[in-house]
Amino acid sequence: MGGGAVAATRLTPANSISFPFAASSTETFAGTDCGATATVVKRYPAGSKGIKMAEPKVGDRDKQGGATQVTSVSVAGTVVTITVRADGPAICDPDRTGVPAGEPVHWKATYPIRAEYRRRVQTTMRVFYESYLFGAKWKLRPKTIRDSRRGGPPGERVTGIRWKRFGGRTAVGSGRLRQDYCRRGDNCPDNGKRVRLVASKAAYCKGSDKIEYLRLRFYIGGMLKTDIPIKCSG
């Protein structure tokens, strides 16, 4: 095997969160003649757990005339198999099909498919805080975080960050504070000091459409220096 491949990160409660997902689609089933069945197989992302089918349910009929019925919905790991059978008059009654006797009756039926499940994902972090949303960027285990909320650059940066924990409900790391607005002769006692970072409130942010930490705190010498709450609305 050639070089350059990177092993996938093993997701655990320490480096990820279990998050609810839903996937919706419309699928077409096709068959020939009354009594025939058709099957659609849906595969959901690796690591999906507790898959529940919101629709269709066994017994549901298609909304194009009700000529087919769902006879089976089964879940095996991340694979869902759905089977429907043609049993309605529009397919089974020769007087309704309009197809000459002895010729095959080809049919199609569409059904809405919606699956709900949980999957482990890693929480991301904004690395550029300017307007909470516009101009923001997101990374896993960023090396530098910039806070420019003072009304524009220059602002503050934490550089050389090393993360003790990241991706789960909370993230903890440390780096050095760089106050870009500090000039020679200014009184900037915290410039260059070690900073402890604590990120929390891992959740989905509708404004960014990302799962991210919604609070970030900087500590210097055990004292809170900066507290950045995220406004998901932008």
Give me the mean pLDDT over the 128-152 stretch.
72
Give me the mean pLDDT over the 211-229 stretch.
92
Q: Is the pLDDT confidence value at 33 over 90?
A: yes
How confident is the model at residue 129, as a pLDDT?
Answer: 67
User: Would you say the pTM of this structure is higher than 0.75?
Assistant: yes
Q: Is the pLDDT confidence value at 170 over 70?
A: yes
How confident is the model at residue 83, as a pLDDT?
Answer: 98
Centre a 10 Å sphere on the Cβ of residue 166 and count the other Cβ atoms it contains.
Answer: 23
Look up residue 12 and give its amino acid: T
Closest to 197 (Cα-Cα) out of 154, 155, 162:
162
Per-domain residue ranges of the chain: 17-120, 123-229
Q: Is the pLDDT confidence value at 167 over 60?
A: yes
CB 186 within 8 A of CB 126: no
Alpha-carbon Rg for the chain in angstroms: 28
Closest to 119 (Cα-Cα) out of 170, 50, 42, 171:
50
Rounded distance between C-alpha atoms, residue 232 and residue 44, angstroms: 28
Which residues, listed in sequence order, are joined to residue 17 by a DSSP beta bridge? 121
117: Cα separation from own chain's centroid: 11
The 10s digit of each residue's pLDDT in 43-100 is 999 999 999 999 999 999 999 999 999 999 999 999 999 999 999 999 999 988 888 8
Look up residue 6 and give its amino acid: V
Q: Is the pLDDT confidence value at 4 over 70?
A: no
Give me the mean pLDDT over the 24-53 stretch.
97
Rounded distance between C-alpha atoms, residue 85 and residue 36, angstroms: 6
Rounded distance between C-alpha atoms, residue 60 and residue 168, angstroms: 40
How confident is the model at residue 2, as a pLDDT?
Answer: 38
26: tokens are 């419309």
